[in-house]
Amino acid sequence: MPDSTSDAHRTAGASEGHELPPDAREPYDLAVIGAGPAGLAGAVTAAEHGLSVALLDSARQPGGQFYRHPAPATRAARPEALHHDWPAFADLRDRLKAGGVTCLFDHHVWTVAREAEDDWTIHALTEPPGDQQHSVRVRARAILLATGSYERQLPFPGWTLPGVVGAGGAQAMLKSGLVLPGRRVVVAGSGPLLLAVAGSLVTAGAEVPALVEASSYFRYTRHPRALAAQPRKLTEGAHHAEALLRHRVRPRTRHAVTEAHGTDRVEAVTVSRLDHEWHPIPGTERRIDCDALAVGHGLIPQIDLATALGCATRRTADGTHALALSPLQETSLRGLWSAGETSGVGGAQQAMAEGELAALAAASRLTGRRPAPLPHLRSLRRSRDRMNAFADAMAVTHAPGPGWTRWLTDETDVCRCEEVPAGRVREAVTEYGARDARSAKLLTRAGMGWCQGRVCGWAVSCLASSPDTAPTHAGAQTSAPDRRPLATPVPLGVLADLTSPDRQPASPPPASDLPPHPPTEGQPS
Amino acid sequence: MKPTDLVGATPGPPFTITFDGRRLDALPGQSIAAVLWAAGILSWRITRGGGRPRGAFCGIGQCHDCLATVNGRPNRRACLVTARPGDTVTTQEGNGHAGFDE
């Protein structure tokens, strides 16, 4: 049968050596999207409770971003050297190898369709080695969405220069590719990820002349109970702090990189002191020479697959949109569960607890049996709730202040894909009455490019949320989250084939004939 | 300490790919973006509006800033594509199809 299932299974067999259980047939009981801490915990838990499980991820191996690690071909003997709490991942990976989960790696999910109450179809693009890119469908009775998050960026002059990279991006390239963006790397932005990034960079041989944090960590002390309930978080923080101390890197709080200098690549940055609203204080600018800048301002839940289905969302303490979930991790759509950063950014431990809880809830629904002793369920929920409280404290501490928009000049590109400068977005607001990111997008093309607004979306929302283009609060992004039917660029040929009765044409059109999007005609959004 | 030493990597012998005709050493398992970074190359795309250089930014396949032309095929995300012996990578200009629609 030349359908997607057999193709997909061959791919699974080729990656990481996971064997397809002979009795596995679609529809799967549970399809898990995302093989990071939440998805892995969910997939192995569900399989251990007797469900047939498909696990899809865009990467070629499990781990997600937190446990991203070098490809097997690098034969890394000590991948844990760049990680905190590697044993937790090793445990999940071992349980995954024990079987029961069909692993579909290198599968980029571009949409999820709900056919009926307990009948879901996942559409994913894949490109097995030596084969052409094509779309496969995976059917399941229930879904666990564990797509994690991506980095929030606040633009500033010079941020499009080569050598300016996401803080998480520098971390990702180091963890998997074993490379550094430069020798002298300034780390800047806001949030606990910066400590981990700076710690990794110095451990891997880079010099970090400055670690620049826009918030003040002293604000954590305003949440003593949330903090005290999280000894593991404190250990993780201490782990990074120790590496930084050893390399004499001291975080400079209440400062920001407000400009990057250079012509064809970054050569230096300007660091400015910030007031409590993140306005740069004139006269405090200092220039620091560097050959790379790793920058990011926290993480944004990746919820596009769910918002396209109409799932309810909630605003997080730092102004992003996350999925609104039941106490047992179910979204507003019955049969669609979610775990990890999609419900609010809280780190790997929280993600694993949520993944397990979601899988137990799904198993209970699908089998009609209680899958775990009540005390265990209660303890999981308590632990998750404590971690949620800590995550909220973190989010409040590192929420961007409204003054960050003062870093921008009218010439600063806000949308990197479509090269839309801040001045054009401001003009859309003051001259044409745009009041939200969507109107600004339609007027300026900001957010209409390849990345689908993931990089500039938050910034454009801030610029568009107030008539005087100076939002009064970090949480000023009042508009609903973006709803986009496609979560990743899809060749037009794949969409055309959806109407064909033959689900997988013998020879799909080469994807190279088409750009990911028709760049001059916009894209569905 | 180099990152490869830190994790105790003992990959097979390096192989060669080319970038705009320049020969670069690649390690088995590295993405094309990683091979370029390892050679000190940070940009391999020219934007279609301002003609500005770009390279890897998010490192995880989200931002599409690292698009490159690989073996003649444009719009490949260099941070996601694993380098293979003999790969020919060229700087991508604009949308990668400039020769056809201009």
User: And the tokens for A263?
Assistant: 């012509």
Q: Which residue of A58, A65, A75 is the best one to mutate when testing the B interface, meaning the one whose CB has the most B CBs within 10 A?
A: A75
Q: What is the 3-state secondary structure (H, E, C) of A102-148?
A: EEECCEEEEEEEEEECCEEEEEEEECCCCCCCEEEEEEEEEEEECCC
- Contact check, Cβ <8 Å, B74/A515: yes
Query: A64: phi > 0 → left, psi -120 to 50 → alpha, else beta; which?
Result: left
User: In angstroms, rounded to a whole number, what is the distance separating the alpha carbons of residues A460 and A155?
Assistant: 10
Q: Which domains does chain B have, with CATH numbers?
A: 13-92 (3.10.20.440)
Given this model, what pLDDT does residue A496 score? 78
List average pLDDT for each run of 10 residues in chain A, which is 525 residues long.
38 39 69 98 97 96 96 93 93 94 96 94 90 90 97 98 98 97 97 94 96 83 70 74 86 96 97 96 98 97 96 93 97 98 94 98 94 92 93 91 95 97 95 90 93 93 69 48 80 75 37 34 34
Mark out the alpha helices in A250-346 (DSSP H runs).
Answer: 304-308
Report the pLDDT value the prediction gives residue A492, as an integer from 0 to 100: 83
Q: The tokens of A8 are what?
A: 């997909």
Contact A341, A302 (CB under 8 A): yes
Contact A93, A86 (CB under 8 A): no
Predicted model pTM: 0.89
Provide the shortest C-alpha distance from residue B19 to chain A (in Å): 17
Spatial distance between the Cα atoms of A461 and A308, rounded to a whole number of angstroms: 19
* Owner of token pair 């093989």: A35
Residue A8: per-residue pLDDT: 39
Specify the residue for token string 């400009």.
A259
Residue A483 sits at the vertex; the CA angle it makes with A363 and A437, to the nearest 5 degrees, is 140
Q: Which of A82, A264, A451 sits opposite B53 (nearest CB)?
A: A264
pLDDT tens for B5-41 read 999 999 989 999 999 999 999 999 999 999 999 999 9
- Asked if residue B69 lies in contact with residue B90, where contact means CB atoms within 8 angstroms, the answer is yes
Whole-angstrom distance, CA of residue B34 vs CA of residue A250? 28
Express as a percent the part of chain B with pLDDT over 70.
95
Q: How big is chain A by its Cα radius of gyration, in Å?
A: 23
Closest CA–CA distance from residue B96 to any residue of chain A (Å): 8
**Shortest distance, CA A361 to any CA of chain B (angstroms):** 31
Separation of first and last alpha carbons in chain A = 35
> A478-487 burial string, b = 16+ CB within 10 Å, else e?
eeebbebebb
CA angle A358/A359/A362 to nearest 5° reads: 85
**CB contact B39 to A (< 8 Å):** no
Per-residue confidence (pLDDT) for residue B98, from 0 to 100: 61
B9 touching A, CB under 8 A? yes
Backbone angles phi and psi of A252, in degrees to 5: -105, 105
Dist CA B64 CA B94 (whole Å)? 13
Q: What angle do CA A8, A13, A18 make, to 5 degrees?
A: 120
**pLDDT for A254:** 96
d(CA B31, CA B80): 6
Q: What is the pLDDT of residue A475?
A: 43
Mode of pairing for the β-strands spanning B67-70 and B73-77: antiparallel
The predicted pLDDT at position A481 comes to: 77
In sequence order, what are the beta bridge partners of A185? A292
- Cis check for the bond before A27: say yes or no (omega within 30 of 0): yes
Q: What angle is formed at CA B79 by the lines to CA B78 and CA B85, rounded to 5 degrees? A: 60
Residue corresponding to tokens 């944004």: A300
Residues from chain B that touch A182, judged by Cβ atoms under 8 A, are: 42
On chain B, the residues whose CB falls within 8 A of the CB of A419 are 47, 49-50, 52
Q: Is the ipTM of this complex over 0.90?
A: yes
Residue A368 neighbours by CB distance under 10 Å: 7
The neighbouring-strand residues paired with A395 are none
Listed residue (A433, A428, A414, A426) closest to A471, CA to CA: A426
* Distance, CA of A18 to CA of A380 (rounded, Å): 29
Give the burial class of A47: count Cβ atoms within 10 A of its Cβ; 0-12 exposed, 13-18 middle, 19 or more buried: buried
Tell me the pairing of strands A107-116 and A268-273: unpaired
Task: Please give the backbone phi and psi of residue A238, each rounded to the nearest 5 degrees, phi first.
Answer: -65, -35
Q: Mark yes or no for CB contact A168/B29 under 8 Å.
A: no
Helix (H, G, I), strand (E, B) or coil at A166: strand
